Structures are given as C-alpha cells and as structure tokens.
Amino acid sequence: MGEKKKKVVKTIKVDVDKCNGCRACEVACSAFHAAPKYSSNNPARARIRVIREPLRDVYVPVYAGEYTPAECAGRDKYTIDGKAYEECAFCRASCPSRDIFKEPDSKLPLKCDMCEGDPTLEKPLCVQWCLVDALTYEEREEEVEEEKEQEELEIGLEALVNKHGLDKMMDTVARMALSKKE
Amino acid sequence: MRYAETGFNLEVDLTRGNIERVESDPRDTELYLGGLGTSAKILWDRVPPETEPFSPDNLLIFSAGLLCGTPATGCNRTIVSTVSPQTRLMAFSMMGGFWAPELKYAGYDKVILRGKSPDLVYLWINNDKVEIRDATHLRGKGTVETAELIRQELNEPKAQVAAIGLAGENRVYFASIEQGRSSASRGGIGAVMGDKGVKAIAVRGTKDINVAQPAEFMALCNEVLKYIKFRNENPIPGVMPILAGLGSPQEMKVHDEKWHTENFMWGNSRVRRKDFWNEEVAKQWAETLDNMRTRLISCFNCPMTCGATISPPGLPTYMMKCFSKLTYTMAAFSDLEFGLGIAQSATEYGVDGFSTPQVMAFALELYENGILTDDDFPGMPSDNEGRFYWLLDRIVRREGIGDALANGTYWAAKQIGKGAEAYAHNNIKKHEQLPLKLSMLNPIYFLMYSTGEKINITQIEGQFPQAPWPTREEREEFAKDWFQVPDEKFKQILLDWEPRGEKSMPYYPTVEMCCDIVDWQERMHYIDDALGMCSGLSSFPLKPPYHIHNYPKFISAGAGIDMDEEKLTQAIKRYRTLVRAFNIGRGMRRKDDKPPENHWKKRFPELEKELLDTYYELKGWNSQGIPTKESLHELGLDYVAEDFEKRGIYSEEGTPSSETLAEEYKVKGGNRHG
C-alpha cells in the first residue's frame, strides 16, 4: 500500500438557482486570461460559459474541462424539476461536437485553470465577480494514495504497449525526452 | 490600435441593399466620446432639418457605448437615435440587455441604417459576415417570438436579436425595439425601424475589445464592484425603498407598491387614490407577482437583477423590468394580474410601456365624455380589462380608431378634434409623460421637465435627493460620505435645505443652485449615454459607483484618451449642445420647454421665468433656448453657428417661426400603405 498524501481540491460551487444570467463570469475570465493580462475582453475566449435560455429559465454556468478528441457515442438529456436541459448542457469538455471552449481564432481547446499563475488568485476571478453568489469557491483537503497514480500510469502504458509494441514505445519516449531537452 | 471602441461602423443602405464597413475618425471619439455623442454628430452632419421621420433620408443609428464590451460593470447600453415621428425631434432611446457588447465583439461600434427596404428584411451580423436577409415570413410576429425564430433559423443560439413587433411594422408612433429583457421604447424609434422595412438586427461576435491600460482599468472595475457590494449592504436610510439602493428602481423585487399606487395617477393620469393600498391588495398583488415571476435577471455583466422573467398563466414567458409593472394596471384601474398579463401582449407587439396605457386610457376618456362614440368602437367588449386588450389590438394594427390613437395622444387629439386636445394633457413636446400630478412647483423638477431633451423625467433626474430629510442630523449623515458630488457646494445646499420654512421650496434651493443641480444631474445622464453605462449604476440613483471623479479615469484607461474632469465636462457639453442644436434646427424653441400645464397645481410664473433664463444662460443658450455663437465657438461647434446663420435662426425676433416644421406636419400618419 502506498503512502497517504494530502491534496487540495479546488471547487467552484455552481448554484444555478442564483444565476442571473449576466455573464460577468465570462467577462472576468476572458480579461484575466488575455495576454497581457486584462488587455482585452472577449467572452468567446472565456473558460466558463453560461448556457442561457431565459424563456425556459435555463441558466447553467459551465467550466471548460479536459479536451477530448472524440465525440460521445450517445447524448444525454436531463430533466430536472420539470425543466429539460439540452444535451451537453452540463458537460465541461472541449470536444468536436460543439464550438464552445475553443479559441475562436485557432480553435485550440480552452480549459479552466482556476486562475492559477503569477500570482495565483485567492479565488478565481469569475467567483469574485459573481455578486449574486451563483458561483462560490471552496477548497477542501482530500487524502489520496500516492501509489494510485503510479498504478494508473502503468495501466495506461500497458494499453499503449499492447497496441504499439514495447520497442516503438521506448523509441517514442526517448525521442520525446530528447526534444524536451532541446 | 483603437481602444475600447472598434473604430468601425456598419453603413447599411436598405434601398440599394448595400453594406459597407467604414472606419470612424478617432478625433470624433475625443470630441464626442461615443454612443449618443458620436451619433448626434452623425445626425447633425447627415440629417438636415427638412428630413421627415419616415423619409428614406432619416437615419436610424444603433450605437454601442464607448465602454461597452470592456469589463466595466453594467456597461451594456445600446443607444438608438433617429428623428422621432411623434416629437419630430431627435429621439435617443437606450436599451440594456446583451446587444451592444455583442456588436462590439463582432467588430463594430454602430450600425447606421438609411434608405428603405422594398420588402421586410432582417440584418444578420456575424463578425465580418453581414447579410440582409428576407423577413417576410416574420411579418406580424411578436418581438420575443421573432428573436427565437431568427436564432433557430440561423442555428445560432448565442445571437442577440433586437426586433420590432406588429406596432413597429405598422409605424405606431410609440413602437419599441425589444431585445433580451430590455427595450428602446421612447420616441417611437420602432416605427422608424418598421418604416425602413427592418424587422430585426441579429448579431454575434467573437472578437476582442482592447483596453489601453489593462491593470489600471481592471483596478477601477474592481473598485466599482466593491462599492456596489457596499451600497447593497448599506441602503440609504429615510428614503422610499426604490430610491435606497442601486439599479433601476427594483420594481421586480418589491411587493409594497403603496407609494406608486397612492402617489401616481390612475386612468388617463387623472385620479389619485390616496387610500388604495391595503392589506388585502398587498396580499393579492404579492401572490400575483410571486406566482408569475420565475427569476430575477440582469443585463450583460451586471449584478443588479433589475429585471425578471414573467410567466402569466396560459401565456408565453416574457421579460420585464421597472415601472411597466404598474402602468397598464393603473391606466385601467385594474390589478397586477391584469397588468402583467397585458404587458405580455404589449411586449410581443413592441410598444412603449409609458405611452401605450395612457393612449388607451385617453381613448376611453374621450368615449366617456362623448367625444368618441360607439361608432368609433365597433365590437369593443364591455368589461374594462377587455377594452384595453381590444384597444391595444386596434392600435398596433392601426384599425379603425386605432389608426389615430397609434399616433399618440397629441396627434390623435388633433385628428379627432371636438375638444379632444384637452384630454391629451400629460405631454411634453408631444410625448406622453409619467402619470404624476402634484401640488406645488418643484423648481428643480420644473427645469428638468422643461429642458430634458430625452423628454422623460427618469432620464434626467438622479444624484441629488428628491426631498430634504427632516432633520439636519439626517442630512449631515447623508452628506458625510457623499464623495460623488462634483463640488463641495452641493453638500452645503443639501445641509441647509429644509422641508418647510425659509430654506424650503420653491425659493430654496435658490435659482442658481437649482440650475447647478440640474446641470449636474443631466451631465451624468449624458456621460452614461455616450459610454453605454446603465443609469441605474450611475446617473439615476443616490450615491452611485460611477461618478464624475472616476469616469475620466475609466475613459483614460479604457479608451486611451487623455481625460480629466474638466475635459470630460466640456465634451459632454459639446454633444449635449449638439442635440439641442439639432432640435433647434427642427423648430424647437423656448415655448416647447415646459412641463404639462397641470403637472403642478400651484405655479410661480415669475420664478419659472427666472429659472429658465438663468439655466439657459448657464448652458450658453440665448433667451429662446438657442445655443449662442459664443458658446458654440467655445465648444468647437462653429459649424453649427454657421448653419444657424445661414438658416436665419439667429435673426428671428421674439416669437420664432418654429411652428413650421413641428406643427404643419400632416396630422395623418397613416399606414405604410395608406
């Protein structure tokens, strides 16, 4: 068994009932991530989007998560409290089936980084700008087994080795290591 | 690089179906800022006074404010300007919502419409791609309905759509342009849009808006947010709830309507019901609002939640804000359930929530007094509420008596004759006003009503308390952290101001003080109209987060224009004077600068004359309200003085010849095809 290790989990709690649909979160996000910082504004570059259908009372602030190269095999629709939400409404992925969470010019995927950087903000800026408290921030500590990560890595590699062969994998890793050094 | 603004306007010639992207002159931004300021310049340059509102030569300008699209909280206004069919003067109505920032992200500051389309069309602005598209299938559709249909048709749920309804298509003089939860509804600009054959403008943009000094600009925004939080936690004591906080009057939140229902007039601005509000009414209205209101909502980038989605039983959902909550209810002597229900139809038809209920109440008053008869109302239901629905339908379709009523009370009364004019009693410059009738003259409000060129009291009042607190201690308490004042003297005026006695209305504040107060109040509104700021965070409430001291910094850091309070005040004076000049060119004179005759029971003609004389002088206008050559020169507006010379405007003696344009106008507005 591996060693137990403390890990901080940063959480943005989203209360859709409190959302007023103003999109200040998108504004703050795009300003924060502009280069140089705050130099430009463009909600289409934001890593949070408010899925908004005012007439059906649908307001869902969604954060950009991991990039995924493939579409889902199927789609889901949720009905909550009698309100139907469109498929993908709650999904965080930057994926081929929709145009959100992609840089409008390059189409490269966007991902929420919790406003980490130089300096890391005490709370993500979107949370600071949400005065109606639809977004609140919480940090909690979780104990994780360090071993687990190693285990997961091995399982992943095993699959790749099975697919491509050990030699090819070794070559690739060596080439990647070399190019990183340069 | 241009900062805060995009530097480009869209010029759309609807007659020829031509679209051009035209770079604007950055020097104009420095002189006139943006929004209303630069639009007023365009109107002055390109719409000569002979231009009829429904001429292809009239322009309809949709403008984002200078700071729209930046992170400045609450900066989301679209300023729509044109020549109003009702007042025949410049109309510059604003709407919040989401449209203006989207236009900026698409790469444009303004959309300038000219000419007339032969068929009903809509404009689709998608970044660099701009199309004029067929809208004949949308004819007669509601405003909210149209927006949804266009979004579906374009498969672009994020497109922001500003649309007219049946009223705009039929050129009703108080037709609105509706968008998101907001509308630009005063002055009948929706009628001009309909006359041009434009059903809607849809826009989607994914480009950047740059700011000149990023860190400084963001620090200013954060300060504003912090102050909003502070003000939300610290309402002003001793004033009625809707004046205590920030934002538009929070009509969607409050249940207690004692003040409005007992102080504002019912019917055709006639009846005051001093004992209307009681427990039973309170309970019933609270239930109505709670049942119909789905959620409190905001405009783009604003935490104030002044609006709401309203779902009346059995009717489609729509969005509402502010005082239209009560205007239909009170015009019809009905209840809130009726008011929120008929407002759904009115929103879809696209009509102004101030003028429309009054026009209908006016019609029924004419009926009750025998000026209109049963022949004018064929098929009208006998129940009160049913009559209002029936009248609304006739008006937006311009059917029967509705054709005259669709021109507003002033023109309708002229058309109907038989003494109907006396019933069109609540207008300023031919435009229906808030239903208020009071006892004694208030000199500050007298000046605002008389000279406010947006012709709507809520669009000039604000900043300075409406009445003095009874005790000096309360006044001191208010004044102690009142840093928004442009000059310390305003604090002293307030401290000395008493509800009764020597230092009370109408002779205190003194004439000079009143002029300064009004000038300050108006100045703040004009800044907002150029920057695209919501007046609910700036010019309208007491102690707002935006004020004359931080605005220059916002403009410097945002637009990269070197700005200070003096330069800003001069810029505002410049385009405010230009609005005046435009209207002077169209025949407006001192005789038009007056409140409704019966607004106050007790009047003070000498004081009123002195007020107007002194205010005109402060503004650099002559005794007829015409900007003088000297003041125009000082503002760099010599081109206006030259035009006035050429037109002989300065050589008029005494009574001006201004009946010309404003009065000779053919009373019959009529149908598009009529």
Chain A residues in contact with B297 by the CB 8 A cut-off are: 20-22, 54
Interface of B with A in 316-375 (CB under 8 A): 316-319
Question: Poorest-confidence range of A96-105, B273-282, B529-538?
Answer: A96-105
pLDDT value at position B116?
98
- pLDDT confidence of B301, banded at 50, 70, 90? very high
Each residue of A40-87: pLDDT tens digit? 999 999 999 999 999 999 999 999 999 998 999 888 899 999 999 988
Question: Cβ of B309 and A40 within 8 Å?
Answer: no
- DSSP bridge pairs for B198: B121
What average pLDDT does chain A have?
90
Provide, for chain B, the percentages of residues in helix, strand and coil under a 3-state DSSP scheme, each rounded to the nearest 5.
45, 15, 45
Chain A residues in contact with B303 by the CB 8 A cut-off are: 20, 22, 24, 130-132
**Beta strand B438-440 with B600-602: parallel, antiparallel or unpaired?**
parallel
pLDDT value at position A163?
83
Q: Would you say residue A151 has pLDDT above 80?
A: no
pLDDT value at position B103?
98
Are B205 and B300 spatial neighbours (Cβ–Cβ below 8 Å)? no
Each residue of B618-656: pLDDT tens digit? 999 999 999 999 999 999 999 999 999 999 999 975 444
Chain B residues in contact with A60 by the CB 8 A cut-off are: none
- Taking CA atoms, what residue in B is nearest to A29? B71
Helix axes B214-233, B551-559, angle to 10 degrees: 150
Q: Would you say residue B303 has pLDDT above 80?
A: yes
Alpha-carbon gap, residue B229 to A131, rounded angstroms:
8
CA distance A24 to chain B (A): 4
Report, as an integer, the average pLDDT of B485-509: 97
Report, as an integer, the average pLDDT of B228-236: 97
CA distance A158 to chain B (A): 43
Question: Poorest-confidence range of A128-137, B4-13, B145-154, B254-263?
Answer: B254-263
Q: How many CB atoms lie within 10 A of CB B107?
A: 20
- pLDDT confidence of A133, banded at 50, 70, 90? very high
pLDDT above 90 coverage of chain B, percent? 94
Q: Which of B333, B387, B345 is nearest to B166 (CA)?
A: B345
Q: How many CB pairs under 8 A join A and B?
A: 96
Residue B317 sits at φ, ψ, to 5 deg, of: -75, 145
Chain B residues in contact with A122 by the CB 8 A cut-off are: none
- pLDDT confidence of A2, banded at 50, 70, 90? low
Q: Would you say residue A3 has pLDDT above 90?
A: no
Q: Would you say residue B662 has pLDDT above 50?
A: no
Q: Which residues of A touch chain B, with CB atoms under 8 Å apart? A: 20-24, 27-28, 31, 34, 36-45, 53-57, 59, 104, 128-132
Report, as an integer, the average pLDDT of A105-130: 92
Q: What is the pTM of this model?
A: 0.94
Q: How many CB atoms lie within 10 A of CB A159?
A: 10
Q: Which of B180, B177, B199 is nearest to B189 (CA)?
A: B177
What residue spans of B158-213 are helical by DSSP H?
166-169, 189-195
Q: Would you say residue A120 has pLDDT above 90?
A: no
pLDDT above 70 coverage of chain B, percent? 97
Report, as an integer, the average pLDDT of B338-348: 97
User: What single letter denotes the amino acid at residue B150?
Assistant: I
Q: Would you say residue B388 has pLDDT above 70?
A: yes
Q: Residue B309: which of A28, A43, A57 has the nearest Cβ?
A: A57
**Cis peptide bond upstream of B53, omega within 30:** no
Q: Which of B449, B439, B466, B432 is nearest to B612 (CA)?
A: B449
ipTM strictly over 0.90?
yes
Question: Cβ of A131 and B317 within 8 Å?
Answer: no
- pLDDT confidence of B665, banded at 50, 70, 90? very low
Count CA within 13 A, CB hemisphere, residue B527.
25
pLDDT value at position B653?
58
B284 touches chain A (CB under 8 A): no
Question: Cβ of A42 and B208 within 8 Å?
Answer: yes
Question: Poorest-confidence range of B106-115, B525-534, B604-613, B653-662?
Answer: B653-662
Chain A residues in contact with B319 by the CB 8 A cut-off are: 54
- Taking CA atoms, what residue in B is nearest to A28? B71
pLDDT value at position B669?
42
Report, as an integer, the average pLDDT of A7-36: 96
- pLDDT confidence of B525, banded at 50, 70, 90? very high
Say which residues have a Cβ less than 8 Å from residue B319's Cβ, sequence separation at least 6: A54, B144, B180, B181, B297, B307, B308, B309, B310, B347
Q: Would you say residue B565 has pLDDT above 70?
A: yes
B315 touches chain A (CB under 8 A): no
Each residue of B86-140: pLDDT tens digit? 999 999 999 999 999 999 999 999 999 999 999 999 999 999 999 999 999 999 9
- pLDDT confidence of B661, banded at 50, 70, 90? very low
